[in-house]
Structure 1
Amino acid sequence: MATSSRSTDQQLAVELAADAGRLLVELRTSGPTRRELGDLGDRRANTLILDRLAAERPGDSVLSEESRDDPSRVDADRVWIIDPVDGTREYGLGDRPDWAVHVALWERSGDPARSRLTAAAVSLPALGVVLGVDDDEVYAAPVGNSGVDGGGLLPPRSGSRPRIVLSATRPPAFAEAVARAVGGDLVPLGSAGAKVAAVVRGEADAYIHAGGQYQWDSAAPAGVALARGFVALRVDGSPLEYNVFDTYLPDLVVCRADLADAVLAAIASV
């Protein structure tokens, strides 16, 4: 049966995220020093993804953290938004699973309000999985010796209290208010993609961030979360906007739908 262009784009997003993840794990175990690893991984994963997109989607535009931005993309109908290594610090440490690869596609609609992310994939290479937009599919990505002994992004739960993941180095000022509002615990975790993945996989219940991000930090994770029925928006409750001129997109909330009102109210109260 023929596949639609959307499903083909989604499969490509998954393949790119998986292949870049495999390259990064192999590189991680091949001997570069910690100082070299982050920059080398960023460059090689970016090259892999861009080369594949140039070959398979030559008419599309690309916004990548590791490439110079071409402002003409804002007029394009299809823009791939890429973060070749989300969580370069965690990746470079060698034994952390909380880093990711992001691949998303934004498409223009005749109604600007309907322009949106139409394909998304978040690879967790150290765990050997890629999360796509379908909630009944987790794509296996055999990546060899990842340096991580199975498990998940977080330890198993010890109780029923909600977990709220956030940055260990840049926790938002409203973090304690959110924790009180939902009766939850604050849990530091690495990259943005890993934090959203923890929510999507049921290891956490919400992710809050206000310390500064860019479109490539949240596009693929938000695309996956939204497609699977989670809430993903700005901390003021406004929608996330992609393929706008300013790449800065500083804050993000991703959470279970039943927690959204309490999380946003707590943020607004601070």
Structure 2
Amino acid sequence: MQATDLALLIDAAREAGRIAGRYTGPTAERWEKAAGAGPVTEADLAVNEMLEARLPAARPGYGWLSEESEDSPERLERETLFIIDPIDGTRSFAEGSRTWAHSLAIAHRGEVTAAVVYLPQRDLLYAAAKGEGATLNDVPIRVSEVPALDRAEILAAKPNLESKHWRAGTPPNFARAYRPSLAYRLALVAQGRFDGMLTLRPSWEWDIAAGALIITEAGGTCTDRSGAPLRFNTARARLDGVVAGGRAVHDALGAALRPSGPGLPQTPPA
């Protein structure tokens, strides 16, 4: 089923790109969500409307979890579901940047089995099906094999470098870069363009699901900040941060991080 599910996601992602392309980011109508949850534009809603009509109709037995749909506990009763971010990097989209993505995934019993991260403005389509490898525009991709952090370039927002997160009180010596879309950061690591990524804040499943499978199918490792496997379709739909990269980089980052706990202040969204 993974192969046919992946074909379904690829077709839907390309249609999402066509819909989003009808809008000009800076002029698209925009609102701020309640409780500081960030912006949403008319493009996000138009893409979500198409996906919510198209995907469940093609797979009637699958549940639904999307950033732009009202959540329902009914999804927890489904073994398989769609996990969707109609536009990951909405701020980037609204500013007129090209660094935003459609993130589409299918998870079965908590594990992602098919995934697409599509950047229509950059003509980049990352895809993976469980056990079948990862591709960029149909060409196989692999994570980098950098053996040590002091030779690595890591995608991370600045708040992740604060001393409270690291056992030594300071982060290890690595080069830092940043991209606004979490899904794109994960895909770039899968491609080998960067050696690892981390986000230490609680992260929504829809930001992570697709990129997590693409990384692991590209030979990398992707866990939460404590090193535990990622599980999807949880009641809160949130993960305890994400650490990803080739095995050596992932393990070195995990060893350097201070364990999270109830008393640890959380990094603000980035």
TM-score range, shorter chain: 0.7 to 0.9
C-alpha displacement of 1:107: 1.0
Which structure shows the bigger proportion of residues in strand conformation? 2
Aligned with 2:185 (options 184, 190, 195): 195
Identity of aligned residues (%): 28
Give the whole-Å Cα distance in 2 for the aligned partners of 1:135 and 1:176: 35
Aligned with 1:17 (options 1, 13, 18): 13
Give the whole-Å Cα distance in 2 for the aligned partners of 1:240 and 1:90: 26
SS of the residue 1:225 aligns to:
helix
Alignment of 1:228 with 2:224, yes or no, is: no
Aligned with 1:123 (options 109, 118, 126): 118
Change (3 A) 1:9 1:121: same
Q: Which residue of 2 aligns with 1:52?
A: 54
Matched residues, number: 237
Once the two structures are superposed, the pairs formed by residues 27-38 of structure 1 within 5 Å of their partners are 27-28=23-24, 32-33=27-28, 35=30, 38=40
C-alpha displacement of 1:98: 2.3
- Listed as ranges, the gaps of 5+ residues in structure 1 are 109-114, 141-159
Give the whole-Å Cα distance in 2 for the aligned partners of 1:171 and 1:22: 34
SS of the residue 2:87 aligns to:
strand
C-alpha displacement of 1:211: 2.3
**What residue identity is the alignment partner of 1:47?**
E
Give the whole-Å Cα distance in 1 for the aligned partners of 2:135 and 2:207: 23
Q: In 2, are the aligned partners of 1:61 and 1:78 still within 8 Å (CA)?
A: yes
C-alpha displacement of 1:33: 4.2
Give the whole-Å Cα distance in 2 for the aligned partners of 1:178 and 1:13: 43
SS of the residue 1:221 aligns to:
helix
**What residue identity is the alignment partner of 1:27?**
Y
Q: Calculate the aligned-residue CA RMSD, in Å.
A: 2.6
- Listed as ranges, the gaps of 5+ residues in structure 2 are 32-38, 139-149, 261-270
Change (3 A) 1:99 1:172: farther
Normalized against structure 2, the TM-score is what? 0.79
Give the whole-Å Cα distance in 2 for the aligned partners of 1:136 and 1:62: 24
SS of the residue 1:27 aligns to:
coil
Q: For residues 127-175 of structure 1, what are the alpha-carbon distances to aligned partners after superposition, in whole Å with 9 as ceiling and x for unaligned?
A: 11210015563237xxxxxxxxxxxxxxxxxxx942111125x435347
Give the whole-Å Cα distance in 1 for the aligned partners of 2:133 and 2:254: 25
Q: In 2, are the aligned partners of 1:172 and 1:210 still within 8 Å (CA)?
A: no
C-alpha displacement of 1:70: 1.3
